[in-house]
Amino acid sequence: MSDLASVLPVPPRALPVRHRRPAEALHLRRMRREASDEELMLRYGKGDAGAFEALYRRHRLPLYRFLLRQVGSAESAEELFQDLWMRVVNSRGRYEVRAKFTSWVYAIAHNRLMDFYRANGRASFLSHEESESVLEDLPAGEIAADLRLDRKRAVERLLAALGELPDAQREAFLLQHEGEMSIEEIAAATGVSPETAKSRLRYAVAKLRASLGKKS
């Protein structure tokens, strides 16, 4: 996954670059860390490129993992990931806070996934090599080799079980676990009722438990 923040354009209305005093720069960094996603997006629309960088670094990994685990191809996930963030960039001037930023950005991801499925069919899910990259997202620390092997097998089992889910159920599960979204937010992002979103999530969890239980 490329570091998109280093290549995305600065808004046309961005303020002229000037050298900031260390105290001022520290204050800006602290403010961006503490600001909500919605505040950062609004600041970006007004010319604060650093606000976008803070947003990107805050959400890039869960968004990329969500796309990767949906389309099953690192190459396709990278293309969707780049396109998603360019759409965020292009929306900066007309962005309005009508919902949480996560609901808005995952709705963009959902719509792009629907386009992808229409053009390419259902994902074949992750290859063995790509499951390795998912494993790298997990904190390794000082895990012993045999424990890491157990974790690798657990990840592969989970990915296989996710791959067996219907697209809508897998998406609901990933939105909750990768996007940390509520039922209402999942419903808003995918354009369905909260009851439908809750049902999809319930079925996904039940099927995953049954599938993993059979293979244990």
Q: pLDDT tens digits, residue range 73-118?
A: 888 899 999 999 999 999 998 999 988 899 899 999 999 988 888 8
Average pLDDT score over residue span 162-171: 87
Does a structural domain hold residue 136?
no
Does a structural domain hold residue 78?
yes
Q: Whole domain around residue 51: which residue ranges?
A: 20-123
> How many C-beta atoms surround the C-beta of residue 83 within 10 A?
16
Average pLDDT score over residue span 161-172: 87
pLDDT at 147: 42
The DSSP 8-state label assigned to residue 99 in this structure reads: S
pLDDT at 186: 93
Is pTM beyond 0.85 here? no
pLDDT at 43: 92
Helix axes 194-215 and 183-190, enclosed angle (nearest 10): 110
Q: pLDDT tens digits, residue range 18-75?
A: 445 565 555 556 666 778 999 999 999 999 888 999 999 999 999 998 998 888 788 8
**Hey, what long-range contacts does 190-195 have (CB within 8 A, 24 or more apart)?**
190/107, 190/110, 191/107, 191/110
Give me the CATH number covering residue 87.
1.10.1740.10
Does a structural domain hold residue 57?
yes
- From CA 95, how far away is CA 5, in angstroms rounded? 19
Does a structural domain hold residue 167?
no
Does a structural domain hold residue 25?
yes
Encoding tokens for residue 164? 């067996």
Helix axes 128-136 and 145-163, enclosed angle (nearest 10): 120
The sign of the dihedral angle between the CA atoms of 116, 120, 121, 124 is negative
pLDDT at 158: 76
Does a structural domain hold residue 170?
no
Per-residue pLDDT at 10 exceeds 50: no
- From CA 95, how far away is CA 61, in angstroms rounded? 22
The DSSP 8-state label assigned to residue 178 in this structure reads: T
Alpha carbon distances (Å) from 93 to 29, 51, 143: 23, 14, 46
How many folded domains does the chain comprise?
1
